[in-house]
Structure 1
Amino acid sequence: MTAETAQPQQPLLRVQDLKIRIRMDNGVMNAVDGVDFEIRRGRTLGLVGESGCGKSLTSRALIGINPKECETSGRVAYRSSQEPEAKEEPLDLLALDPNGRKIRSIRGRKIAMIFQEPMTAFSPMYTIGNQIMEAILIHRTRNKKEAKKIALEMLSKVGISDEEKRFDQYPHEFSGGMRQRAMISMALSCNPELLIADEPTTALDVTIQAQVLELMKRLQQEFGMAILLVTHDLGIIAEMCDEVAVMYLGKIVEQAPMKEIFRNPKHPYTKGLLRSMPRLGGNKTKRLESIEGSVPVPVNMPPMCGFYDRCKDRIEGVCNRRSVPATQISGSHMVRCFLYSEQQGGDNDGEAHIGN
């Protein structure tokens, strides 16, 4: 990884006030509620949180593949790394027609995605090789022989042996780890600038998981791409990421460099996630801590902290009365919590409320 000071001034992708609403019979669900983050070239941003917090909807919104019932607003400013310091305004991906030619020229070519479950992401009706070739034929070359050669090279790069034979096999003939590798080879077949990996190792055993993560790091160094890694596993975050955005109930509640998140967490939710992790050399007889309760359904939510009902450090009459502003702890560390908000009396006053 390159030093942060060596990074270009302009990010590859900047998400600003991203909101996703879903109208339901009993009200409006604010599935994603004002998300902001940046992804820089050659870096890995981890988006972490419990199931149902809006991680997958956020990642899919970047390339316009959410269901039609998702009402999306905000701005996703994309600046190609071919002209990172260009004076022209970056392209707003949300302003594009999700079925239009422009976004389709970016989706798969400039921004690729590894989906959560490759068995459902691959069509069972076509061979693995046919599906990898399809992306190459659309974005790189019209020559089928050249496309097949590229597909075979990518299968080899991701560690699939006997690629000539595997090329003509169907998804059900691949193991879970091999399907995930094939999914990575398809995503990288067009040398994307940004790879979105949505829970890329969820269905894999620990050994195969480690191999897939090592593969992603090696290919990132080879291709120089940025990665948005969506996961609920903090172990993967520690292994893979440069920066971390902790998401809860549709909002980024804390964002900082990876080491800062693990060494100096601020938000009670982040602290709870870290305390729930098993540790090497820890007390084997002691039960792991857990965060009581569950993520509420964000339908017709009043203006308050979404973590209020589960938080041990909540401030009655404050956290349940108004929306929580974002507070900049340092130049690279943001937290959304009244314990650190100037509205609650500043950092010193806020620290006095922290019990755990």
Structure 2
Amino acid sequence: MTLKAVIDSQSELPLLSVQDLKIRIQMDNGEMRAVDGVDFDIKKGKTLGLVGESGCGKSLTSRAIISINPKECETSGKIVYHSTSEKELHELNLLSLDTKGKQIRSIRGRKIAMIFQEPMTAFSPMYTIGNQIMESILIHRTKDKKEAKKIALEMLSKVGISDEVKRFDQYPHEFSGGMRQRAMISMALSCNPELLIADEPTTALDVTIQAQVMELMKGLQKEFGMAILLVTHDLGIIAEMCDEVAVMYLGKIVEQSTVGEIFKNPKHPYTKGLLNSMPKLAGNRNKRLESIEGTVPMPIDMPPMCGFYDRCKDRIEGVCNKQAVPKTRISDNHMVRCFLYTKEGEERTYV
């Protein structure tokens, strides 16, 4: 069977499938369930948004994909990656690989690349930007330094950095925030990855530069045909960039669907709260934006209950605080984790 036939026969498979991902951290006062049973698929060439407040487990989830979480993190579950070689399609559980082994290192940076939240700390201040971009190319693409430099210069130019020959020999502190982010994108894309993980890629940037970076990522995704996992707390970026969205709270996916469905027909009270906190062009200027009272609790030795219970205006006493919340399938492509949509919750609500 030819490679094309193999790919066609597996066309329904996601590029990456995260299954029952759990991350535990042992603290002095108990066990922290930082990520607690997360499931999602990333389709080839598509963008999945992972959204939620700080402390929900988004970054730990994304970093677990390429096995770069701190050693204190005890990780279980499956992260299944469908990789296409020259002759066949491989199915790999990335969590089963040695975190420092040759196999995961051949995937990390080459097949799956990552844009980190703060490029100033992601780049080493001791080496030039060009040297650091070249390092990845020399590891994964070619051993020829002249060819590696040529690729690096092409990528710097492609992401919109002018006078790339001069910039190649400059250090990170000589770049502005927007330029550092562009350089980080060029380094991530220098090996033509199948999946790009973007962890809060616009947090440290002003609004104008944010828009430029988003447009850049969309253009490069179209050119290279890669999938993107976009980690953010900004629903405006989610609406602009993503095909699907997973709303994360306290280590769990509480709602997941297409972007259009989430924005038009949100189900979970947390999702509704996030959407209501956004300013609207057609809204009443004199009306204050809604806010979600309270903060994300620490998930240490929590009893089986809804993690959003203390902050939820629609909570059901005697239900939401007494048992773990099951997943409910609203439609084929819409999942929510809330008792309001279970039989028991409906009985308590309407009786």
TM-score using structure 1 length: 0.94
Opposite residue 278 of structure 1, the aligned amino acid is P
Matches within 5 A, 1:147-296: 147-296=148-297
- Maintained 8 Å contact 1:338/1:350: no
Structure 1 residue aligned with 2:332: 331
Structure 1 residue aligned with 2:56: 53
Q: Partners of 1:343 and 1:290 in 2: how far apart? A: 28
Write out per-residue CA displacement over residues 283-321 of structure 1, whole angstroms, 9 at most, x where no aligned residue: 222111000011000001000000000000000000000
More off after superposition, 283-292 vs 153-162 = 283-292
- Maintained 8 Å contact 2:133/2:187: yes
1:41 aligns with 2:49: no
Q: Partners of 1:224 and 1:350 in 2: how far apart? A: 48
- Maintained 8 Å contact 1:14/1:77: yes
CA distance 1:67–1:84, shift in 2 (3 Å):
farther
Which stretches in structure 2 are left out of the alignment for 5+ residues?
1-9
- Maintained 8 Å contact 2:245/2:257: yes
Q: Partners of 2:77 and 2:348 in 1: how far apart? A: 31
Write out per-residue CA displacement over residues 245-298 of structure 1, whole angstroms, 9 at most, x where no aligned residue: 000000000000000000000000000000000111322221110000110000
Opposite residue 258 of structure 1, the aligned amino acid is V
Q: Partners of 1:215 and 1:351 in 2: how far apart? A: 47
Structure 2 residue aligned with 1:18: 21
1:71 aligns with 2:67: no
Q: Partners of 2:11 and 2:298 in 1: how far apart? A: 39
- Maintained 8 Å contact 1:193/1:226: yes
Give the 3-state SS of the residue equivalent to 1:80 in structure 2.
strand
Post-superposition shift, 1:341?
Answer: 1.6
Give the 3-state SS of the residue equivalent to 1:116 in structure 2.
coil
Post-superposition shift, 1:344?
Answer: 3.2
Structure 1 residue aligned with 2:4: none
Post-superposition shift, 1:83?
Answer: 7.8
Write out per-residue CA displacement over residues 107-165 of structure 1, whole angstroms, 9 at most, x where no aligned residue: 00000000000000000000000000000000000000000000000000000000000
Post-superposition shift, 1:342?
Answer: 3.4
Matches within 5 A, 1:73-92: 73-82=76-85, 86=89, 90-92=91-93
Aligned length: 342
Give the 3-state SS of the residue equivalent to 1:166 in structure 2.
helix
RMSD value over aligned CA atoms? 1.5
Q: Partners of 2:313 and 2:92 in 1: how far apart? A: 43
Opposite residue 67 of structure 2, the aligned amino acid is G
Structure 2 residue aligned with 1:4: none
- Maintained 8 Å contact 1:12/1:84: no
Q: Partners of 2:203 and 2:32 in 1: how far apart? A: 26
Percent identity, aligned pairs only, is 80
Q: Partners of 1:335 and 1:52 in 2: how far apart? A: 20
Q: Partners of 2:87 and 2:231 in 1: how far apart? A: 25
1:27 counterpart (26, 30, 34): 30
Post-superposition shift, 1:8?
Answer: 2.5
Which stretches in structure 1 are left out of the alignment for 5+ residues?
1-6
Write out per-residue CA displacement over residues 16-55 of structure 1, whole angstroms, 9 at most, x where no aligned residue: 0000000000000000000000000000000000000000
Opposite residue 208 of structure 1, the aligned amino acid is I
Opposite residue 35 of structure 1, the aligned amino acid is V
- Maintained 8 Å contact 2:316/2:349: no
Q: Partners of 2:154 and 2:23 in 1: how far apart? A: 39
- Maintained 8 Å contact 2:325/2:337: yes
Opposite residue 106 of structure 2, the aligned amino acid is S
Give the 3-state SS of the residue equivalent to 1:290 in structure 2.
coil
Q: Partners of 1:281 and 1:24 in 2: how far apart? A: 47
- Maintained 8 Å contact 2:305/2:323: yes
Opposite residue 78 of structure 1, the aligned amino acid is Y
Q: Partners of 2:247 and 2:87 in 1: how far apart? A: 27
Q: Partners of 2:230 and 2:11 in 1: how far apart? A: 21
TM-score using structure 2 length: 0.95
Structure 2 residue aligned with 1:146: 147
Q: Partners of 1:258 and 1:83 in 2: how far apart? A: 34
Q: Partners of 1:278 and 1:305 in 2: how far apart? A: 28
CA distance 1:223–1:84, shift in 2 (3 Å):
farther
CA distance 1:84–1:118, shift in 2 (3 Å):
farther
Matches within 5 A, 1:294-305: 294-305=295-306
Give the 3-state SS of the residue equivalent to 2:83 in structure 1.
coil
Give the 3-state SS of the residue equivalent to 2:24 in structure 1.
strand
